[in-house]
Amino acid sequence: ETVLTQSPATLSVSPGDRVTLSCRASQSVGGNFAWYQQKPGQSPRVVIYDTSTRATGVSARFSGSGSGTEFTLTIGSLQSEDFAVYYCQQYDGWPTFGQGTRLEIK
Amino acid sequence: EVQLVESGGGLVQRGGSLRLSCAAYGFSFSRYWMSWARQAPGKGLEWVAKIKPDESEKYYVDSVKGRFTVSRDNAEESLYLQMNSLRDDDAAVYYCVLLLQGITYWGQGTRVTVSS
């Protein structure tokens, strides 16, 4: 099973900031990588899939990059609706998730 | 549009059983692998089980092997999860999920609470 490690666990930021979330895989997952946003009481929502493809309806503020074992999600100019928990996921075989990064308002 | 609707969650005693159901809409259910995932209160996401379209292959996370059984009815476009010998750490919101071309589609979830 591929273990995903996200950093940091919590990020305190201000609206308008640019942030980068990181995720490291214990083994290569190729490009089979996604990022999900989850708000309280809601199901996860895909933001990025196939490492760098924005999902339908997702703002261009969101971008994903990486390969192999190192991946990042960058959110430019944070808006109030972006404050949530973000999970990384690999789907190269049995899907696994990172433990999440919580974006909170500073 | 993909829509997944779970049902069957509730309060169950430790050691008890529960059967979750998922009704699928908006895609060719019989063509795709289907899965269950879960999220314990305040915790992260965990893939629990997956099943091939013809039911010839089924896979489970180690913690539920021998206790949970995934099945499907392609004619009814439904997915099921039979959960036996429930433990405290099985308490979670259970999601019916479809992984399709890199995107995981989620239902709204059904909550399972385990009481002692």
Tokens, residue B62: 């180690």
Q: Which residue of A has its CA nearest to B45?
A: A97
Q: How far is B6 from chain A, CA to nearest CA, in Å? A: 12
Q: Which residue of B has its CA nearest to A43?
A: B108
CA distances from A66 to A28, A42, A76 (A): 11, 27, 17
Confidence check: pLDDT of A42 > 90: yes
* Chain A residues near any Cβ of chain B (below 8 Å): 32, 34, 36, 43-44, 46, 49-50, 53, 55, 87, 89, 91, 94-100
Query: What is the C-alpha to C-alpha distance for residues B19 and B40, in angstroms, rounded to an integer?
Result: 18
Confidence at residue B19, expressed as pLDDT on a 0 to 100 scale = 98
Tokens, residue B49: 């089980």
Q: Which residues are paired to A66 by β-bridges?
A: A71
Q: What percent of chain B has pLDDT over 90?
A: 99
pLDDT digits (tens, 9 = 90+) for A45-88: 999 999 999 999 999 999 999 999 999 999 999 999 999 999 99
Contacts for A56 with CB less than 8 Å, ≥ 6 apart: none
Ranges of chain B whose pLDDT falls below 50: none
